[in-house]
A and B are shown apart, each in its own frame.
Chain A
Amino acid sequence: MIVFNYFFKILKQYKVMIILYTAILVIFGAFSLNTNDTGTDFTITKPDICIINQDKDSGITQGLTQYLTENANRKDIKQEEEALSDALFYREVSYIITIPENYQTDWLAGKEPKLIIQSNGNYEASLAEMLTNNYLQTADTYRKNNLEEDQIIEKTKQALDQKINIEMTSNLNNNGLSQANFYFNFANYSILAICIFVVGMVMSSFRKEMIKKRTMVSPMKPKNYNRANFLGIIVLGVALWAVYLVISMILVKDVMFTLHGLYYAINSFIFTICALSIAFLIGSILQNKEAISGVANVISLGSAFLCGSFVPVEWLPDSILTIVHILPSYWYIQNNEYIKTMEEITWESTQPFLMNIGMIILFIIGFLLVTNWFSKRKK
């Protein structure tokens, strides 16, 4: 008990640092709240697309073309291979749909013909893909009901108009979600910095050669001693996470009391445990306090920049993007991004979320194994 109590007495010496990093998080979190809150949340981005219709006289392809023209920015590009790929490359358009000849005939015959798609794979492209699929799937349901061609087009149009309205209302919280997302992405930085710094400092004090000797000549059993230290670290992490959760509940309360909020909470909890395991590893390797503070800075700032705490990962060069997969922060932030885009929360949509959590848990296990190996080797 004495060791556990004094773990926190020593930790108290570093409270300024904890408050400082938390304050930065709160300030940036609140700041993002103000800048985004401009009421522009209803403008849904329209993807830039290009449609090449080689099946001119058919009703269904015209229906699709019309639907896409209404819901996307349709651009005219010269119909040449090079011009098209240039347009994709320079992001003039994100998605090029080529409707092949006889598409209508094949489609009506139920042959499920394919559109020819060129895409640059970004967010706009997936929007365009969604729109296209939306239309074709809806139309397909009517076709299966053996409706006439004209009726199919008419009914599809009606159904889709309605659907857009529903989606507009269901997506009302986009703004709140991006704020929550920003907050939790930024928390990656604060959680890592605080955990590594504070745990490192306290461990360094307890592991000082002479302090260790004093403990070893006392009747305190090493098992109890280590357990008290470990418990202290866990309690610190859970408390930190709880405080950050409460702050998020204040800053973005309309999100945090939904299922999305629960997912953000779970994700950040697992990540906090991961940050503790990193801190535990560093505390076991390094003894020098300056070195620990330096490493805490490098790791927290580095992974924050590389994994997209401050700026979206899409802005980073591809070479870096492949490397950052080896950082747990990447999976944590990717998971936040995924939660933001979850349309509805079902077992299926939860699976990618769990995959990311699984990755972070693997990291935790890895760090603990390395720590264990390291302390055994030291003995």
Chain B
Amino acid sequence: MSKVIEVKDLTKKYKELTAVDHLSFNLEEGEILGLLGPNGSGKSTTINCILSLLTMNEGEIKIFGKEMKPNAYDIKKDIGVIFQEVAVFEELTVYENIDYFCGLYINNKQERKEKVEKAIEFVGLSEFKKFYPKQLSGGLLRRLNIACGIAHEPKLIFLDEPTVAVDPQSRNNILEGIKALRDKGATILYTTHYMEEAEILCDRIIIMDKGKIIAQGTKNELKELAGIEEKVTLEVENLPQEKQEKLKKIPNIEEIKYEGNQLMISFQKGENNFTHLLEWLKQEKISYDGIYSEKPSLNDVFLQLTGKELRD
């Protein structure tokens, strides 16, 4: 596999604030790489620097093996970008908008027509071709925004939080679409602050905070970092303090939390954790409802590494 993007020591400062701090990573051909981080962690700044929309203070960026510059038109022709904010003309219909942005890349009318139709089909806007942007719902508008960025069938696609403020149905639709693009051969750099999205979608994830990479790898590799194996939640009424203390003595228990009637127990790696817990409950004659166990999430990884929650 060849490297589609190579970022080395990328640093971007806004006056005092260092928004991106010596960031280095590669994007391999055919993968979906997720940049995951809370609001303000520097995801958009990173993308804008890679695209030469912002001048960086330090660093080196190569795309398709060539240095990326504002006038690197031969690189730009193979790139598609979907920005965080919707960028379309109010005065143009769905079809015309896609046709215009596709036309910045493709001159041939016939070829363009086919690609525009394909893109409309792809994002499911066939019934809305003649609609103006203000007649579209938020979710449909996002889909239009995506169609404008990918109609020219780029080899490399940047998506900057394309699902912000989108209803769940549209979101699934969008995520499916992105996977389909990858399956057709595109390489994708995807930013989000929704860890579920990163988990579902990305082959590899880079977790960012304050402009720095704090962890990277596949989702399974990352979860190893969380230091916990599983989390068990159960409903217990009136669990006295002394029992809680006793509970902590069970092997491999990392942490317990008791709020309302919810008892949350995090286990470290180990054998028979769940069985030990059930035996203990029986032994102490504690009655409980609805017990369930879950694997750690990227949020736990983030929590472990930064001491704060990823969710907003």
User: Is chain B found bound to chain A in the same assembly?
Assistant: yes
Of A19-27, A31-39, A203-211, which stretch is located at the interface?
A203-211
Is B64 positioned at the interface, with any CB of A under 8 Å from its CB? no
B195-229, CB < 8 A from A: none
CB < 8 Å: which of A3, A216, A221 contacts B53?
A: A216
Count: A-B pairs, CB below 8 Å? 63
B292 partner residues in chain A, CB cutoff 8 A: none
Q: How far is the CA of A219 from the CA of B78 in the complex (A)?
A: 9
Q: With an 8 A cutoff between CB atoms, is B79 at the interface?
A: yes
- CB B121 to nearest CB in A, in angstroms, measures 22
CB of A102 within 8 A of chain B?
Answer: no
Q: A10 interface residue, CB < 8 Å from B? A: yes
Known: A2-B100, A218-B104, A219-B105. A211 touches B87 (CB 8 A): yes
Contact A1 B96 (CB under 8 A): no
When distances are taken between beta carbons in the complex, the residues of chain B under 8 Å from A210 are: 83, 85-87
Q: Chain B residues near A211 (CB, 8 Å)?
A: 87-89
Query: Contact between A219 and B89 (Cβ–Cβ < 8 Å)?
Result: no
Render A194-232 as a binary contact track against B, CB cut-off 8 A, 1 for contact.
000000000001001011011111111100000000000
Q: Which of A2, A211, A213, A216 has the most CB of B within 10 A?
A: A2
Cross-interface CB contact of A9 among B71, B86, B87, B92, cutoff 8 Å = B92
CB contacts under 8 Å to A, within B92-139, are 92, 96, 100-101, 103-105, 107
The interface size of chain B toward A, counting residues with CB under 8 Å, comes to: 28
Contact B89 A221 (CB under 8 A): no
Contacts of B149 in A (CB 8 A): 214
Assembled-state Cα–Cα distance A202/B77 (Å): 26
Q: In whole Å, how far is B153's beta carbon from the nearest beta carbon of chain A?
A: 14
CB of A15, distance to nearest CB on chain B (Å): 11
Inter-chain CA distance A221–B70, complex, in Å, is 10
CB distance from A209 to the nearest CB of B (A): 8
Does A142 belong to the interface (CB within 8 Å)? no
A19-71 interface with B by 8 A CB criterion: none
Pick from B71, B74, B81, B96: contact of A214, CB under 8 Å = B81
CB-based contact A9/B96 at 8 Å = yes
Excluding A9-B91, A210-B85, A214-B148, 14 further A-B contacts by CB distance (< 8 Å) are A1-B107, A2-B107, A5-B103, A205-B89, A205-B90, A211-B87, A213-B87, A214-B81, A214-B87, A215-B104, A218-B101, A219-B73, A219-B105, A220-B104
13 sample A-B contacts, Cβ–Cβ < 8 Å, listed by A number: A3-B104, A6-B103, A10-B91, A210-B86, A211-B87, A213-B81, A213-B83, A214-B81, A217-B76, A218-B101, A218-B104, A218-B105, A219-B105
